[in-house]
């Protein structure tokens, strides 16, 4: 989550992160710079929050026709996870304007990986860079700016399941490098298929693909998160952020999306906020067959290499309780095709 942290900028944890964006990484100089933010209404400072902790900071000025980044830094303990890029993308989504920055040789690769166009110049005898991020960009760190026809959307090497839905991790067709895609979805329809393991989410999503929808699977998104972090841990906050990012990527190709994923009740607001900020019409569906049916399906399905422990089936079966804003479908005696048709004809 990207939010205003100006009032907390002088707190030790945030000031320490902020110092990484200051020449020499001095806390004393960071405190002096922080005062400039506090004293000037046109200077804004936002933070990236995960699991209740600020992980990154981004300072910027809002001009009439552009956004100027003047400071950006990530906690040294969580670097390499894409938080800097997510802050840039969140800034774009918030203002939908050209973003500019000035930087040095040490940081130029970060801006290029985010898709910025860069021009060098001399300042006091030192090479500096002007960085400009267009309103829509696909960028390869090796090949430069790409068109959507020059990327592969899916990364089969991350695939763990045997169903047709693949992890979304765009790569350059020319060199195979992962690419940065900066785009903001600006409308469409999204169906969220929720339910415990064995409820039929992925199977129904596969059917909707044949009806023109672009699909995002929660398990695939988790694999992408782990790959980006180079770690096995993940959180539901990270999952919500990754799914929102994947919607933005897929919106280059379609305006109809289906998400098959376990979505906990406490996370509903995160998804609604993400959908509404992208002007998406959304439909939440909870697939809830009889409990033993879900267990039986898990034991016999072939899309996973291992059988889901029954304790997890039970946990999600009992935990997924929602109000009337979510349509509950008992698909115990329905085929996947019948369930998909029911959703398309009677729910959305």
> Which pLDDT band, with edges at 50, 70 and 90, does 212 fall under?
very high
- CB 239 within 8 Å of CB 261: yes
- CB 113 within 8 Å of CB 139: yes
Q: pLDDT for 90-121, tens place per residue?
A: 888 788 788 999 999 988 988 888 878 899 99
Provide the greatest CA pair distance for the chain. 75
DSSP state of 344: I
Together in a domain, 109 and 198: no
Could you tell me if residue 290 is inside a domain? yes
- CB 199 within 8 Å of CB 290: no
| Nearest of 110, 157, 154, 146 to residue 131 by alpha carbon | 110
* Pair type for strands 117-123 and 43-50: unpaired
Together in a domain, 222 and 327: yes
The two tokens of residue 148 are 């959507």
143-152, 229-238, 258-267, 291-300 — most confident range: 258-267
42-51, 152-161, 300-309 — most confident range: 42-51
Domain end marker among 80, 112, 135: 135
Together in a domain, 63 and 189: no
Tell me the C-alpha distance between 274 and 292, whole Å: 34
Together in a domain, 261 and 321: yes
Domain end marker among 72, 103, 135: 135
| Nearest of 348, 183, 341, 327 to residue 282 by alpha carbon | 348
Write out the DSSP string of 242-270. HHHHHHHHHTTT-SEEEEES---GGGHHH
The two tokens of residue 112 are 């290029």
Q: pLDDT for 17-74, tens place per residue?
A: 999 998 877 888 888 889 889 998 889 999 999 888 999 999 999 998 899 999 999 9
Q: Which domain holds residue 253?
A: 182-347
Could you tell me if residue 156 is inside a domain? no
Together in a domain, 239 and 102: no
Q: pLDDT for 78-93, tens place per residue?
A: 888 778 988 998 888 7
DSSP H or E stretch at residue 283:
strand 280-287
Task: Say what the pLDDT of residue 96 is.
Answer: 76
Q: pLDDT for 257-274, tens place per residue?
A: 999 999 999 999 999 999
- CB 148 within 8 Å of CB 137: no
Could you tell me if residue 173 is inside a domain? no
CATH number of 233's domain? 3.40.50.300
SS3 53: strand
Q: Which residues of 195-218 are buried (b: 16+ CB within 10 A; e: fewer)?
A: bbbbbbbbbbbbbbeeeebbbbbb
pTM for the predicted model, two decimal places = 0.71
Mean of per-residue pLDDT scores for the chain: 90
Average pLDDT over residues 209-233: 92
Average pLDDT over residues 289-293: 94
């Amino acid at each position: 989550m990207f939010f205003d942290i100006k009032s907390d900028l002088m707190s030790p944890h945030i000031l320490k992160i902020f110092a990484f964006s200051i020449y020499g990484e001095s806390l004393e100089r960071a405190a002096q710079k922080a005062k400039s933010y506090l004293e000037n209404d046109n200077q804004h400072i936002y933070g990236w929050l995960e699991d209740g902790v600020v992980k990154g900071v981004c300072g910027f000025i809002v001009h009439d026709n552009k956004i100027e980044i003047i400071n950006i830094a990530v906690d040294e303990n969580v670097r390499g996870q894409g938080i800097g890029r997510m802050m840039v993308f969140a800034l774009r989504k918030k203002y939908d304007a050209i973003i500019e920055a000035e930087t040095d040789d040490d940081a130029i690769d970060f801006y290029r990986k985010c898709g910025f166009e860069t021009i060098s110049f001399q300042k006091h005898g030192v090479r500096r860079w002007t960085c400009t991020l267009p309103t829509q960009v696909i960028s390869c760190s090796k090949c430069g700016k790409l068109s959507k026809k020059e990327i592969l959307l899916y990364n089969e090497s991350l695939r763990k399941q045997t169903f047709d839905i693949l992890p979304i991790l765009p790569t350059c067709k020319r060199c195979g490098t992962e690419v940065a895609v900066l785009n903001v979805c600006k409308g469409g329809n999204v169906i969220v298929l929720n339910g415990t393991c064995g409820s039929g989410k992925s199977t129904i999503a596969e059917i909707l693909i044949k009806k023109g929808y672009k699909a995002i699977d929660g398990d695939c998104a988790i694999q992408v998160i782990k790959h980006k972090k180079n770690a096995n841990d993940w959180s539901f906050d990270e999952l919500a952020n990754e799914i929102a990012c994947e919607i933005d990527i897929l919106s280059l190709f379609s305006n109809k999306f289906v998400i098959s994923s376990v979505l906990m009740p406490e996370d509903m607001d995160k998804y609604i906020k993400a959908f509404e900020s992208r002007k998406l019409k959304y439909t939440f569906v909870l697939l809830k067959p009889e409990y033993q049916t879900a267990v039986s399906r898990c034991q016999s399905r072939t899309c996973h290499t291992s059988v889901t422990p029954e304790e997890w089936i039970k946990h999600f079966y009992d935990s997924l309780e929602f109000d009337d804003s979510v349509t509950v479908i008992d698909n115990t005696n329905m085929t996947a095709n019948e369930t998909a048709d029911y959703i398309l004809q009677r729910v959305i």
